[in-house]
Structure 1
Amino acid sequence: MRRPDGRFKRLLLHPVRSLPVGFLAVILLGAGLLLLPQARTDGDVDALMPALFTSVSAVCVTGLTTVDTSTFWTPFGQAVILGLVQVGGFGIMTLATLLALLVRKNLGLRGQLVAQSETQTVNFGDVRTVLVRVARIMGIFEVTTAAFLAVRFWIAYDSSPVTALWHGIFHAVSAFNNAGFSLYSDNLIGVAQDPWIIVPICAAVIGGGLGFPVIIALMRDGVRFKVWNVHVRLTVYGTLALLVMGFTLFAAFEWNRPETLGGLSTGGKFLAALAGTVFPRTAGFNSIDYGAATPETLMVTNVLMFIGGGSAGTAGGIKITTFLILGFAIWNEVRGRDQVTIAHRSISSSAQRQALSVALLGVAAVIGGTLLLLMLTDYSLEKVLFESISAFATVGVSTGITYHLPPGAQWVLMALMFIGRIGTITVASSLALSAKPRLYHLPEERPIIG
């Protein structure tokens, strides 16, 4: 088996250093392109902060904006944004997968054989295979979604073939990469009752959010549940459970409210409720005005955003597997079991510690960002917390305050987007790579808990 060259492997062996630097370089390049006069409809406007904020949001596939994408940026500027989204999505998906494979390579021979049997995935040496498969998956999802959307935009909305194709491509790439950028000033509110647009976008969002390893497993194994490994089961079942829970609660809280779902047809309400539970994980599109939503809906959305989607995909958040591993750990502790088991498999203590670390660091980032935004703005805790979670989880939905934030608050959101996008991957990978077996055990002591 051909091993990767030493320089490439050394780069992957230092993910905390290489991943942030690479993303920062792309962000600066994107900001530079958006600062060009031909990228803006008004070339004389000071666009330093809008360009930098938009570039961070695009590369981190978030979707938060301080300007109207459809009117502030020219087609050239919109193409730059789309390119940044594609690079950010492809880079995260690829690097996350390669880092996961690297973590497995760091195991001993017995551990590698067990892990390969469990994951049924490619070997670390097959770097080219990983890249080709990721590109192929992205291409299939994006081309298929773009075709559906382009035809619908052309037939139903009197768009020219060129405009319809451009809108289809833009929204398809934005959807699969869970970015949430839209070429409409009201995002997707104007097409909230159109299933030919909402359903393909939702499908692309879910596909990108599942993660590359899960997509490969589903393509290979289909619905043969018994051969699914723990990661696939957690991701698929967790996604379905969150979709059902989110849909039920969203519909219950907003069904008869004229500010959100009340004015829609019955079919439109179901469609908007579906979008309301899919988009927060973590696409950033919105088919309702979240500024008019109830506090209960915002709270449910906060939970969905913070959990996010699947690992090694284009979604953000702390990830479904992280959340469910912690949930199973609590459940087994309540039942008095000294071992955490999922689907007749035990979960190592190191995996549990990594999940706990990622979750608590996420909580710390959100709390810190929320506190800073409260200090820098006059908005309520409810709106500021929503914005912080949306930025950290790289979601992109907003209650409408992003447009009015001062520069200091915009810097806070940019930091949250950057940390949220690369933080969970680098932290989890670094913890796994730095794990070393201790040759001795210190005396145990049990502090009082609770």
Structure 2
Amino acid sequence: MIAGAFATAVAVGTALLSLPAAATAGRSTALLDALFTATSAVCVTGLVVVDTGAHWSTFGELVILGLIQVGGLGIMTLATLFTVLLSQRFGLRARFLAQAETKALELRDIGRLIRRIAAFLLGFEAAVALVLAARLAFGYGEPAGRAAYLGVFHAVAAVNNAGMSPHADSLVRYAVDPWICLTVSAAVIVGGLGFPVVFELARQWRRPRSWSVLTRITLTFSAVLLAGGTVVFAAVEWGNPATFGPFGAGGKVMSGFFASVQTRSAGFNTVDVTALRPESVLATDVLMFIGGGSAGTSGGIKVTTFGLLAYVMWAEMRNEPHVSVGYRRIPAANQRQALTVALLGVGLVVAATFALLGLSAAPLDRVLFEAISAFGTVGLSNGLTAALPPAGQLILVALMFLGRTGPLTVAAALALREHGRRYTLPEERTIVG
């Protein structure tokens, strides 16, 4: 269902973007360019092979905007419905716990749940668009209509973690503007947390002891990664004349925070990505691969997967018999699912990188960066995507599609196939390490 829904949206988007009316030149866009752009929009990635503002007409940009909206709403809805489906699959005790945490258990509540997700997403986008449009109109002298259009486009792209912009330089022109940068960052963070986490916080923000495991892991590790990324980017790029160097101290810190937020899946940039120092490139690779929260619009293996594996390591180092998060014990099956998703992600990135190295003369670091950006549905690029041959671009199309649908599909398949076994085999330990 998940793969079919996204494939259908990509096919419709490709057909619409192939129309002559979708391009400023009034001619049909090449099929591969239309397919790549549609996949990038539906999978809320942001990688492009043509300049969004220069190549696409207003109609084409509106199609892209619609595809981003469909992709973002679709992933939040499907991921949340997956949670409901699991609660129906498991026993009575698990269902009561799920009801207490999600407030949306019964199948008859699905319609109401979808309406709440849509209302939250559209309402938040409208608020972000209003702030951005006002800033563009009063701070940059944009005409009211143009300011409103740019505000809506960037708001939808930010909340859905897409990273596409009508500007050829993304948000470089607003690099030291806190109204633009911090508003876009807030939109990316909230959209990346996921609907279940946002609504649980809205209900129980004063009672952290009652937060679910999902909320605990998502908030804890999101904060750690955001803070760590800010420190790394600010420290490494502080004196780099091609990136943060020309900014004042406040601008450098804000740019470090903005970069830390965007590498988690959004893909906007306020500095030249190709000018980043190697340490920053490595940090970006790591953050892009981890991604954001489950049931959110971000990509990657998800911060919940990364956090759960960190708790598994901590429990093993302390010789604990069980893995616990807060006041809950994590089932062994849940731990295996996290390990499976993480290793499958590593396998996809390695396989794609290997194939791209054979198709491109670019060095490993550039190819790996582009592959992780596609898999993590981030959209940051060092300029390699547009220069790849058609076969390389098709690999990135597949990687974006698998990066968006893969983790959720694999997690759903593993969880829904759980069954009891009436026997156990004799134990035999092997050497580890």
With structure 2 as the length reference, what TM-score do the two structures score? 0.98
Report the equivalent of 1:121.
Answer: 103
Match of 1:138 among 121, 143, 148: 121
**Is 1:316 aligned with 2:299?**
yes
Match of 1:368 among 351, 359, 364: 351
**Is 1:345 aligned with 2:311?**
no
Report the equivalent of 2:391.
Answer: 408
Match of 1:174 among 157, 165, 176: 157
The answer to whether the Cα contact below 8 Å between 2:17 and 2:29 also exists between their aligned partners in 1 is no
Match of 1:64 among 36, 47, 54: 47
Rounded Cα–Cα distance in structure 1 between residues aligned with 2:194 and 2:124: 13
Task: Trace 1:348-427 onto structure 2 (pairs within 5 A).
Answer: 348-427=331-410
Task: Trace 1:58-137 onto structure 2 (pairs within 5 A).
Answer: 58-117=41-100, 119-125=101-107, 126-137=109-120
Rounded Cα–Cα distance in structure 2 between residues aligned with 1:111 and 1:84: 36
Q: C-alpha offsets along residues 390-416 of structure 1, whole Å, 9 cap, x if unaligned? A: 000000001121121111110011111
Give 1:44 deviation, angstroms: 3.3
| Secondary structure of 1:440's aligned partner | coil
Q: C-alpha offsets along residues 291-336 of structure 1, whole Å, 9 cap, x if unaligned? A: 1101100111111111110000101011111101111111111111
Report the equivalent of 1:198.
Answer: 181
Task: Trace 1:219-298 onto structure 2 (pairs within 5 A).
Answer: 219-298=202-281
C-alpha change, 1:78 and 1:120, in structure 2 (3 Å) is: closer
Rounded Cα–Cα distance in structure 1 between residues aligned with 2:247 and 2:160: 28
Rounded Cα–Cα distance in structure 1 between residues aligned with 2:27 and 2:418: 53
Report the equivalent of 1:165.
Answer: 148
Give identity over the alignment, percent.
48
With structure 1 as the length reference, what TM-score do the two structures score? 0.94
Task: Trace 1:3-14 onto structure 2 (pairs within 5 A).
Answer: none
Rounded Cα–Cα distance in structure 2 between residues aligned with 1:252 and 1:138: 35
Report the equivalent of 1:34.
Answer: 17
**Is 1:51 aligned with 2:69?**
no
Rounded Cα–Cα distance in structure 2 between residues aligned with 1:270 and 1:185: 24
The answer to whether the Cα contact below 8 Å between 2:20 and 2:29 also exists between their aligned partners in 1 is no
Match of 1:150 among 133, 139, 146: 133
The answer to whether the Cα contact below 8 Å between 2:2 and 2:405 also exists between their aligned partners in 1 is yes
Give 1:45 deviation, angstroms: 6.0
Rounded Cα–Cα distance in structure 1 between residues aligned with 2:68 and 2:3: 16
Give 1:116 deviation, angstroms: 2.9
Rounded Cα–Cα distance in structure 1 between residues aligned with 2:106 and 2:407: 21
The answer to whether the Cα contact below 8 Å between 1:247 and 1:276 also exists between their aligned partners in 2 is yes
Rounded Cα–Cα distance in structure 1 between residues aligned with 2:9 and 2:338: 29
| Secondary structure of 1:43's aligned partner | coil
Rounded Cα–Cα distance in structure 2 between residues aligned with 1:223 and 1:82: 36
CA RMSD of aligned residues (A): 1.1
Give 1:24 deviation, angstroms: 0.7
Report the equivalent of 2:284.
Answer: 301
The answer to whether the Cα contact below 8 Å between 1:211 and 1:312 also exists between their aligned partners in 2 is yes
The answer to whether the Cα contact below 8 Å between 1:98 and 1:124 also exists between their aligned partners in 2 is no
Rounded Cα–Cα distance in structure 2 between residues aligned with 1:38 and 1:55: 15
Moved more, 101-110 or 415-424: 101-110
Rounded Cα–Cα distance in structure 2 between residues aligned with 1:120 and 1:45: 46
Rounded Cα–Cα distance in structure 1 between residues aligned with 2:340 and 2:92: 27
